[in-house]
Amino acid sequence: MPKLIQAKTILNKTKRRDPWFLDDYTVNPYSGCSFNCLYCYIRGSKYGTHMEEKLTVKENAPALLDKALALRARKGQHGYIVLSSATDPYLQAEKTFKVTRSLLEVIMKYRFPLHIITKSDLISRDFDLLQEIKNKAILPDDLKDKAPSGLLITFSFSTVSDQLAHIFEPGATPPSKRLVTLSDCLSQQFHAGVSLMPLLPYLSDTGEHLHEMMSSFQRVGAKYVMPASLTLFGNDAADSKVLVMKAIAAHFPHLNEKYQRFFEHQNEMPKYYTEALNKKMVDLAAMYGLPDRIVSQSA
């Protein structure tokens, strides 16, 4: 059973807007994550090996957000709220506690633009509120002629293989269902796309798998696909580097030596790899007609 807490704050102002996700603010209705993705950057001893066991619900989040957005709105400080930056807003607990839905009502009330990042199909429950936000959001001045919508929805994928995802994202909605929900979002005329963060070296970054993914996203009509490679941290039992290495050794022993070589003394894949991957993704983006940004860097 998740722990209920009274948060002190809920709205975080970013120091600088990220060019990928356009975040002026971030909001996290939960702490910890029951999706338990092995590669997640927030992993560590705070949450343990099974992150769902440390899941907390910020039950006063809507009241805190109402107060914070009322002040920002009076000052004309509308900007994109990213929901969420450190956990998924549509965990299984959301079915019971509905904190995210309550936050959407507050965001709609003050007409802030919104970017939802999720691995879940539960987002379809809230299509009614999301339509309202899309139609009424006030964009920040510097994005009024650049951003495509006051509502952005990004589905996170590391693979489109349900079998592979079950190993690395054991608690998340299977990619096959995510694809269906992405298609549903697009049929609602939402501006929705994909975060391919992270691609798994020698597993989901192979030519065959990349073509399968890009063709799948093109087929449903995704508006963008934003790729990035794998980054791993930490040497404790609950850290992403240790957990991913254990999964590789258990399920893909033929890759164990490569992963050990790449990540034993660093957190990222080597420069030659990332440069080659970036070039490959640029070529694939052009081939499939899928932009690699929500807002192009030249806009």
Does 294 fall in a domain?
A: no
Does 293 fall in a domain?
A: no
Taking residues 64-68, what's their average pLDDT?
98
Taking residues 109-138, what's their average pLDDT?
98
Buried b (16+ CB within 10 A) or exposed e, 55-93: bbbbbebbebbbebbeebeeeeebbbbbbbbbbbbbbbb
Q: How confident is the model at residue 32 (pLDDT cuts 50, 70, 90)?
A: confident
Contact 111, 78 (CB under 8 A): yes
Does 264 fall in a domain?
A: yes
Domain count, the chain: 1
The pLDDT value recorded for residue 298 is 60
Q: How confident is the model at residue 42 (pLDDT cuts 50, 70, 90)?
A: confident
Quick: pLDDT tens for 135-153: 999 999 999 999 999 999 9
Does 296 fall in a domain?
A: no
Is the pLDDT reported for residue 119 higher than 80?
yes
Residue 11 is part of a domain; what is its CATH number?
A: 3.20.20.70
Is the pLDDT reported for residue 51 higher than 70?
no
Rounded to the nearest integer, the mean pLDDT of the chain is 95
The pLDDT value recorded for residue 26 is 98
Does 295 fall in a domain?
A: no
Is the pLDDT reported for residue 202 higher than 60?
yes
Q: Residue 88, CB half-sphere, CA atoms under 13 Å: how many? A: 28
- The H or E element that residue 262 is part of is helix 256-263
Distance CA 297, CA 171 (A): 34
Does 299 fall in a domain?
A: no
Does 213 fall in a domain?
A: yes
Its domain, for residue 67, covers 3-288
Question: Of 137, 268, 251, whose CA–CA distance to 201 is shortest?
Answer: 268
* One-character DSSP codes across 106-166: HHHHHT--EEEEES-SGGGGGHHHHHHHHHH----GGGTTT-S-SEEEEEE-S-S-HHHHH
Distance CA 230, CA 233 (A): 10
Taking residues 167-176, what's their average pLDDT?
97
Is the pLDDT reported for residue 247 higher than 60?
yes
Question: Of 162, 299, 158, whose CA–CA distance to 226 is shortest?
Answer: 158
Is the pLDDT reported for residue 48 higher than 80?
no
The pLDDT value recorded for residue 98 is 98
